[in-house]
Amino acid sequence: MQKKYNFDVDIVIPWVDGSDKEWLKEKNKYLDKENQIDVDAGANRYRDWDNVQYIFRGIEKFAPWVRKVFFITCGQKPSWLNLNNEKLVWVNHKDYIPEEYLPTFSANPIELNMHRIEGLSEHFIYLNDDFFFTSNVKKSDFFDKNGLPKIVAMEMPKAITGFIFDNITMNNVRALNKLFNKKEVKKKHKKKWYSLTNPVCYIINKFYDITAKVGWAGFYIKHLPAPFLKSKIEKCWELFYDELNKTSLNKFRSVYDVNQYLFTEYLLCSGEFFADRYKRDGELLSLNDGEKPNIGTICNVLKKQKYKMVCLSDSQITKFEETKQKINLAFESILPSKSNFEL
């Protein structure tokens, strides 16, 4: 009998120092050539909160079972990063992204080409540079005992609201509808889509079966650390080459892109996943001015370790330095010790 979870799991993290003058010069050179109505290149997408070290501290403390951490940059390196840590692999964009896609100032080409990273294990977890582990996590939070990614199988129709991200998620859906018939997928994998042990998903999926019969209209995807299979990303490149190639050629995030959610949504359609329960083990927390939850509440959530993992989304906050200090003090309260990833 195969030993449970007898497989390696890596982590992939991209990062950029948006204050780097040389990087800004090159970014602006390419941005001047773009139709800026169609792209997302706002400063908040790149500014550095000076807290990436807490991502590494969280990995070391709360996920010691991780084999390697692949840290992706365009050649930039935080001054505190310990390149001699045997778990760390520092990856330059040019090490794995095809030359025709470089330089890039969009997260999408960086993510869509992750499978090309040399030495990356079949099973890995992807973290944006605003994702943090704040309590103990296990392999079983991301994969089942046979190595299938754990995903919540639940429809969530998307609407075009004017935000570039909404356009991107709909582009994913259009690509999937070309290959997968919703009715056939749900019939073939009905135990995963209609399990009574997962009542929230069961009710919502049944509701959208009745109200929306024209095909996939969107999926529930958690904006949190996500499990991936390298071989399935390679398969997606075979099936969706045109969409992935077009996106990778774009220098900035565009309304015409697809994104890495497509890889997870492909697994939902192909049935190559373990149906995870809808649960609140993580949360996206939006950093903003005056809206709920406020910064004080978010800091308390971090200090009390309410969730296993969080995303701290930069929502164009204006009191940047003040907010950064408060957030990083909250992290310091639960992760005060340097990790072996730091000098």
Q: Tell me, what CATH number does 90's domain have? A: 3.90.550
Q: Phi/psi at 312 (nearest 5 deg)?
A: -105, 95
For residue 222, which amino acid is it?
Answer: K
Provide the whole-model pTM: 0.94
Specify if 87 maps to a domain: yes
**What does the pLDDT read at residue 185?**
96
Q: Are residues 91 and 55 in the same domain?
A: yes
**What does the pLDDT read at residue 36?**
55
Q: Are residues 105 and 228 in the same domain?
A: yes
Q: Are residues 32 and 100 in the same domain?
A: yes
Specify if 132 maps to a domain: yes
How many structural domains comprise the chain?
Answer: 2
Q: Which residue range(s) make up the domain with 77?
A: 9-152+221-278
In sequence order, what are the residues at sequence separation of 6 or more whose Cβ sits closer than 8 angstroms to the Cβ of residue 195? 201, 202, 275
Q: Are residues 148 and 14 in the same domain?
A: yes
Q: Are residues 24 and 124 in the same domain?
A: yes
Q: Are residues 133 and 38 in the same domain?
A: yes
Q: Are residues 61 and 182 in the same domain?
A: no
Its sign, for the CA torsion 141, 145, 147, 153, is: negative
- pLDDT by residue for the chain (343 residues), tens only, comes to 346 889 999 999 999 998 889 999 999 888 877 655 556 655 556 678 899 999 999 999 999 999 999 999 999 999 999 999 999 999 999 999 999 999 999 999 999 999 999 999 999 999 999 999 999 999 999 999 999 999 999 999 877 677 888 899 999 999 999 999 999 999 999 999 999 888 999 999 999 988 777 799 899 999 999 999 999 999 999 999 999 999 999 999 999 999 999 999 999 999 999 999 988 899 999 887 766 678 899 999 999 999 999 999 887 677 888 999 999 999 999 999 999 999 9
**What does the pLDDT read at residue 1?**
38
Q: How far apart are CA 259 and CA 108, in angstroms?
A: 6
Its sign, for the CA torsion 278, 311, 113, 56, is: negative
Q: How far apart are CA 129 and CA 313, in angstroms?
A: 10
